[in-house]
Structure 1
């Protein structure tokens, strides 16, 4: 597993599974002739997208950013449609670090689409129960509201099996919240109405997780937004704000979905100055 130090905060990427989604949907109106030069595509026009939670450790506390694709929750048809070739191994990843699901204090959910939230619950008999029994789950008020009452478009990604069983664990906020000293969530909207980003700061160092505003390094261009975005103009505006902010701070940009990089830094010309690559095990 790959790790990164941000001051006194340690980040470690866990194995949360993998999907393969349509490249055209992931890059919206951008022609394939352009985006395919920056991100690999297979013969089905799919791109590999990890769903790997980031373990954030500080002062004896353990938090996760996102929850992974989960285990045993997708039908065979869903696995085929979403190109799921590997389900979550988060529990195994934690064990290799000397931790268990009981050791997780909080889960930072930038949004609650199925590919981020399936790992929050597991089936137990006829019910779904929390995977992380001691963890608070943080998300925006808007995201939590839509999760439970999706509209005709969003009901395909906000699933009841991912929120029933965790209702007493959820902590919501409106604009911004400090999860723990050095760890903040900020509401942005864009990808979803309740989408948020994560800022991590320690000893003068910064990391920024733009979540699905910046799902891969190939989405660096502020105009390259997904067809999945509910509010693409908001996505563009937020990228115009936060990518320059991160560059100015010499921040690490963190990725949940990227199949190539776990994190990287860009300079003002858009060139990569440092990177943490994903170690491929197969």
Structure 2
């Protein structure tokens, strides 16, 4: 498991599974000859995407950024359609760190699409139960509302089995919440109406978790928005703001989906100056 220390924050990437999605959908209107130079694509025009939660240790608390693909949630048809070849191995990852699920204090949900939220619950004895029984689950108020009352399009990604069992654990916020000193969740919209990013800053140490505004390193271009985005123009504007801010501060950018990099740091011109690569078997 890859680990990164950013000041007082310790980040460790867990094994949350993967999927393989159409590259055209992941890069929207960008022509394939451009995006395929930056991210590998297979013969089915699919790109590999991880769904790996980030364990964050800070101020004696253990937090998790998103929850992984989960286990046993998807039908055979869904596994095929979403290109899932690995489901979550969160228990194994936690065991290597000397932890168990009950040690997680807070889960920070950037949004609640199935590939981020399936790891919140699991089926036992015919009912769904929380995977992290002692954790507060923090998500934007807008996203929580979307999850509980999906529209015609979003019902394919906001699933009752991912929220009903954890509703008493959920804490929502409006535009911004400071989870710990220097660690905040900020509502952005864009990818989904309730999408949020996570920002950490203490002194000269900082990171920004852009979630699905920049799901991979290949999405660094501010104009490259996903076809999956509900509000792509919002995505572009929010991306521009957060990239400019991070470039100036020398922030790390962390990834949940990237199959090749866990984190990158850029200079003010957007050139990579430091990196944490994912260990590939």
TM-score normalized by structure 1? 0.98
Query: What is the CA–CA distance in structure 1 between the aligned matches of 2:203 and 2:53, rounded to whole Å?
Result: 24
Residue 55 of structure 2 is matched in structure 1 by: 55
Matches within 5 A, 1:59-74: 59-74=59-74
C-alpha contact 1:197 1:211 (8 A) present in aligned 2: yes
Contact 1:6 1:202 in 2 (8 A): no
Residue number in structure 2 paired with 1:161: 161
Alignment of 1:112-261 (within 5 A): 112-261=112-261
Query: Whole-Å Cα distance in 2 between the matches of residues 88 and 80 of structure 1?
Result: 16
Q: How far does the alpha carbon of each residue in 1:107-163 deviate from its partner, in whole angstroms, 9 at most, with x for none?
A: 000000000000000001221100000000000000000001000111111011100
Q: Is the 8 A contact 1:6 1:201 kept in 2?
A: no
Residue 257 of structure 1 and its aligned partner are, at CA, apart by 0.2
Deviation at 1:192, TM superposition (A): 0.3
For residues 239-280 of structure 1, give each alpha carbon's deviation from its aligned partner in whole angstroms, at most 9, with x where no partner exists: 110001001010000000001100001122221110000011
Query: Unmatched 5+ residue regions in structure 1?
Result: none
Alignment TM-score, normalising by the size of structure 2: 0.99
Q: Which runs of 4+ in 1 moved over 3 A?
A: none
What is the DSSP-based 3-state SS (H/G/I as helix, E as strand, rest coil) of the residue aligned with 2:73? coil
2:247 touches 2:269 (CA, 8 Å); kept in 1? Answer: no
The alignment's C-alpha RMSD in Å is: 0.7
Cα deviations by residue, 1:193-243 (Å, 9 ceiling, x for unpaired): 000000012342000001000000101111100000000000000011000
Residues of 2 paired with 1:161 and 1:32: CA distance? 36
Q: Are the aligned partners of 2:204 and 2:249 in contact in 1 as well (CA < 8 Å)? A: no
Q: Distance in 2 between matches of 1:205 and 1:90?
A: 28
1:19 aligns with 2:19: yes
Q: Which runs of 5+ in 2 are unaligned?
A: none
